[in-house]
Amino acid sequence: EPEVTQTPSHQVTQMGQEVILRCVPISNHLYFYWYRQILGQKVEFLVSFYNNEISEKSEIFDDQFSVERPDGSNFTLKIRSTKLEDSAMYFCASSAIRQGGGMNTEAFFGQGTRLTVV
Amino acid sequence: SQQGEEDPQALSIQEGENATMNCSYKTSINNLQWYRQNSGRGLVHLILIRSNEREKHSGRLRVTLDTSKKSSSLLITASRAADTASYFCATDGGGYSTLTFGKGTMLLVSP
């Protein structure tokens, strides 16, 4: 069964360092998302991406964050200068059709990357 | 309550019993989805129910949706120890490409 894959599963980084989290969405999906979950808290939306551009982003997704689809299969989240509060589980998701677009389609999530900023 | 709030926050049952979790939301939706998360792991999609549907089944799962009350319930019948996980409801924004999750219900099924 197709699945969203994320690498690495766990990343430890020094505060102020840049990190890139990688995702391979399901191959025929067109919409891609990043969410994060701080330990013990809700899963929060960060950004959605379609047709090589950001379609929506939350307040969390500030200038420290960027996303890219460098080739036909990968979707990356870059955090330019990590802060302690960026420590969280980051989930990539993809869907065939845009969520909330009046169409009914599931969003499939990867296993997540646990980012620990020290 | 906020969009996609589940209750109870924690539920402990014995194997074989049924587990019911509830979700309430505030704004209009196109659909509502339920996800499961094993401790420290990824989100597994369980079921999607459309705003014009009232009930949906998938194996041992039964989901109901009451748009007049802005609430949904997830029933797991004949629970198993392997059902132990956190369960989240997620609503779309009725036009936005985001999912809003609740804090989840932690379900513990004891053998």
Residues of chain B positioned with their CB less than 8 A from the CB of A31 = 97
Q: How close is the nearest chain A Cα to the Cα of B5, in Å?
A: 10
Considering only alpha carbons, which residue of chain B is nearest residue A9? B41
Q: Does A108 touch chain B (CB under 8 A)?
A: yes
**What is the pLDDT confidence band of residue A73, given thresholds at 50, 70 and 90?**
confident
B1 falls in which pLDDT band (50, 70, 90)? very low
Contacting residues of A for B53, CB less than 8 Å apart: none
Is residue B56 within 8 Å of residue B62, measured between CB atoms?
yes
Residue-level pLDDT at A102: 46
Separation CA B23–CA B4 (nearest Å): 6
**Across A27-36, A51-60, A99-108, least confident range:** A99-108
* Measured distance CA(A1)–CA(A112) in Å, rounded: 18
Contact B42 A43 (CB under 8 A): no
Q: How confident is the model at residue A99 (pLDDT cuts 50, 70, 90)?
A: low
For chains A and B, count residue pairs whose Cβ atoms are closer than 8 Å. Answer: 78
The average pLDDT across A53-57 equals: 90
Q: CB neighbours of B47 closer than 8 A, spacing ≥ 6?
A: B33, B34, B56, B58, B61, B63, B74
Helix, strand or coil, per DSSP, at residue A54? strand
A101 touching chain B per CB within 8 A: yes
Cβ distance of B97 and A99 shorter than 8 Å: yes
